[in-house]
Structure 1
């Protein structure tokens, strides 16, 4: 096949008059064909996408290139930072020989640039604190991070249902433990028996141990007030979309936590945003890095909800791009909804690797220009097999693409630069301090106190039968507070934020939403 025919095929397949992301130029017979420009129409970015490849193949830089051009076009971006090196987007890139060589090969002028950035953190140590109330997080997501079995998950659902029915805001883990104890060994045990069923002490104790385990890991900090307001993800500065970076480098040892938290955030965006219809460019692009962690050991109900959110959120003008190592990391039901594919090199060192490679190739349109299996394993760093949806929603030609280098820095900000970003951030100040609202802990404590006072009054009103000393019976409060579960319930100052993936509980926050809402 001639180079000319390749150039014409790529130009015909990828040329568009709509706003688009320039990804790079096609490669054929080891030659970079600068005229064979590969672009992704922004109108198709809410059809979602997938970025895959082996470690060190350039996935993170591909996400950086996408984020930069989206921001420049006025589209806000949310992206996790797994290693803490994406903060460099906030400053201009540095020209060097490799970047100059790549730009010249693509036939473009390399212009260093910086983009507006907000940095978030789940620990609160590396950026603006993101929090979620336990109520808003929902029982299904909480079941996943607590690693509960079906029986324990059922009990957790009872707790949430009772809290909803009785208007008990479960803001943080202290509230959750209080409700658990109240319904297991406290006065609430008899109250729920007929309507909800009895909760066994053994099951409650297991759930409590798992909650305490997360607290010991510091995970309880993500549950609290002030709640994160999704409006903050849609900010623009000088007409450019803000790139919201969630730095999770300090909690890499807890991947299930941050991956589930990001899904909770995405779910709230889905629930809160209005229908948008077809737009020339999306309202927000949401990257989910280490996507395989979302689906690991996930129950069917959880998977069904993910599938629903991904399928329906595109009508809200939001695109979701999954980033992982292998196509097989994504369930088939979700994979079928990802219209744009950017696949970096796949290493085929083992029989399982070879099998994965063959399965990946099946997900691409057939190409008359490449021997796919061989080409996939020979891609260089910064190169990828690409197929996207054109402006009519038709998959484009599969093409090996020499990718554009990022315009911002590929190095993380220095310690002082990082501090300056946070010090100048209104968002950081907004979420810095936790607040302790009245919630289930306080409400149930007051309820128990009142019951105790009423009991004491009744005792006092009764005629005294004997003046001899006898062992005083325990009050309701004493029974609750001296139970094995209650002894582990500490009162802390952390409260929570969003979730909302499965529950119908309305947000308790009274703040008025503005902007696009």
Structure 2
């Protein structure tokens, strides 16, 4: 099939060749199976097939094995003979070794080009999920985003969000009147979680330049689709960050890409490995969002393929949207395993030639039970399938080879240098500096005013010499007048220490002093 990806098939006891049609590839898919049954190789051969048809691919490399997509397989490789035997068995006549155009990405910027997004683009819902916030803490985070938007305070990196929360705590009385109660304890809890995230090295994920989605959807000069590989072996140490990032990427694709209906082939195929991490302890609002994106993103020309051990790791509403399926062996050691096996078998269109449940239990490594969408999107009959061998290298390339590919990429200069634009942190810091200068200036003016009043009252006091009885009485009246004047002056000083008062007094006293 020219307009499809060859998956495998053929051989004694096995069904017809299995092709994943490109015009139905945006109807999503599932690769499932126990550990060690061949899910990674299936992911590799699907990525090869899509790239060969000019479809860009994004996938996460959880074990570090998929970098071999960049390099042709070798005839000296120890699996060469089994590969060629398998290709002959399934009728894969044009099987050859070849490499594919690969771009490496890494949230930590070590094993690939740095991947960044801004705090504002991530949004409060996903950040709350990332930080595992309570409902009350999530509410405060929403307030922070809303106030930042109203105040013209861009939230780009982690320190922008941290400074915004500080501002929110300091101004909680006025803000609470409009948006609801803001507890200092909740603000402190969010700050502590942000600190943990920062210490894990994930702070580099927030910032600029943000990832341009167009850089994920490129083809090379020969028309091959670019394979974007996210280094996730170390990222799996922060599984919530991994799941949140991939969900953010899906959401961005959904928001940014135009509607294309049902294209002849997808504009991008997205593989989500270790998919159960997305749904573990996920709040209903988040699961609903994933379901919405999975349902609607196909009209944007994006196919989403989940890779996990058990199909029941995926919520039923989402599982029902995954039309193209490759089911590797499931082990039924426990009652839960047997139940999962039975449920997995029930999701396939029956084949009278064999029992689906038994086949899922019996298929070996590199074999699978498959079902692909056919004309009009109808699920194909389940088939036992020998998965075709990969054309690229099985296993990782060397660090030197990875470094060479990264250095030769035209995206290296674009993403390596970090930008730090004027945003919430800088704006709030500038406001604080100006407020401090104003306070210092006001304090100095108050000190000057006190000194001026003391000078004025001292200058009005009578200091003449009293001679004889005839002058004593006026002297007593002068002392009485001076004491009254001093009391009035003290009251004036007390009442006029405010900003408005100081402005008035400076004008009045200036005239008095000039008149002396």
Partner of 1:283: 267
- Structure 1: distance between partners of 2:60 and 2:149: 32
Q: What does residue 248 of structure 2 align with? A: 264
Match of residue 41 from structure 1:
21
Q: Structure 1 residue 136 and structure 2 residue 132: aligned?
A: no
Matched, 1:167 2:145: no
Task: Measure the CA separation in 2 of the matches of 1:214 and 1:206.
Answer: 13
User: Which residue of the partner structure matches residue 158 of structure 1?
Assistant: 143
1:491-506 counterparts in 2 under 5 A?
Answer: none
**Could you tell me how far apart the structure 1 residues matched to 2:210 and 2:239 are?**
22
TM-score, scaled to structure 1: 0.84
Equivalents in 1 of 2:420, 2:35: separation in Å? 42
Task: From 398, 404, 411, give the equivalent of 2:388.
Answer: 404
1:303 & 1:37 partners in 2: Cα distance?
35
* Counterparts of residues 387-426 of structure 1 (less than 5 Å): 387-426=371-410
1:329 aligned to 2:313?
A: yes
**1:63 maps onto 2:43 in alignment:** yes
Partner of 1:85: 65
Whose helix proportion is higher, 1 or 2?
2
Q: Post-superposition shift, 1:105?
A: 0.7
After TM superposition, the structure 1 stretch with the greater mean CA deviation from structure 2, 232-241 or 163-172, is 163-172
**Cα distance in 1 for residues equivalent to 2:450 and 2:172:** 31
- 1:93-135: per-residue Cα shift (whole Å, max 9, x none)? 1231110111111122320011000000011010000011111
Specify every segment of 5 or more residues in structure 2 that has no aligned partner in the other structure, as ranges.
Answer: 455-516
Q: Given the alignment of the two structures, is residue 117 of structure 1 paired with residue 102 of structure 2, yes or no?
A: yes
How far off its partner does 1:32 sit? Answer: 4.0
Q: 2:13 aligns with which of 20, 31, 41?
A: 31
Mapped pair 1:231 → 2:214: yes
Q: Equivalents in 1 of 2:432, 2:27: separation in Å?
A: 52
Equivalence for 1:253:
237
Q: Given the two structures, how large is their TM-score scaled by the length of structure 2? A: 0.84
SS at structure 2 position matched to 1:360: helix
Any conservation in 2 of the 1:284–1:317 contact (CA below 8 Å)? yes
Taking the aligned partners of 1:169 and 1:201, their CA distance within structure 2 comes to 23
Q: Which has the larger radius of gyration?
A: 2
Contact 1:18 1:41 in 2 (8 A): no
Return the offset for 1:210.
0.7
What pairs with 1:417-496 in structure 2 (closer than 5 Å)?
417-462=401-446, 463-464=449-450
CA distance in 1, matches of 2:106, 2:195: 22
> How far apart in 1 are the matches of 2:346 and 2:369?
13
Cα deviations by residue, 1:142-197 (Å, 9 ceiling, x for unpaired): 11111111111111111111112222111111111101011102xx3344122222
Aligned equivalent of 1:360, options 336, 344, 359? 344
**More RCO (CA 8 Å, sep 6+):** 1
Query: Hey, what's the Cα distance between the residues in 1 that align with 2:341 and 2:149?
Result: 48
Count of residue pairs the alignment pairs up: 445
Please list the CA deviations of residues 61-110 of structure 1 after superposition, one character each: whole Å capped at 9, or x if unmatched.
11111111111111100000001111110110123111011111112232
Map of 1:50 onto structure 2:
30
Aligned to 1:493: none
Deviation at 1:364, TM superposition (A): 1.2
1:26 Cα deviation after fit:
4.3
- Structure 1 residues 198-207 or 75-84, which shifts more? 198-207
SS in 2 for 1:80: strand
SS of equivalent to 1:341: strand
Contact 1:128 1:429 in 2 (8 A): no
Offset, 1:450: 2.1
Matched-pair contact (CA < 8 Å) for 1:26–1:399: no
Alpha carbon RMSD of aligned pairs, Å? 1.6
Deviation at 1:307, TM superposition (A): 1.1
Q: Which runs of 5+ in 1 are unaligned?
A: 1-16, 468-517
Q: Which residue of 2 aligns with 1:76?
A: 56
CA distance in structure 2 between the aligned counterparts of 1:345 and 1:151, rounded to whole angstroms: 44
**Cα deviations by residue, 1:366-398 (Å, 9 ceiling, x for unpaired):** 221111222111111111111121131111110
Secondary structure of 2:377's match?
A: coil
Residues 127 and 428 of structure 1 are in contact (CA less than 8 Å); yes or no, is this contact kept in structure 2? no
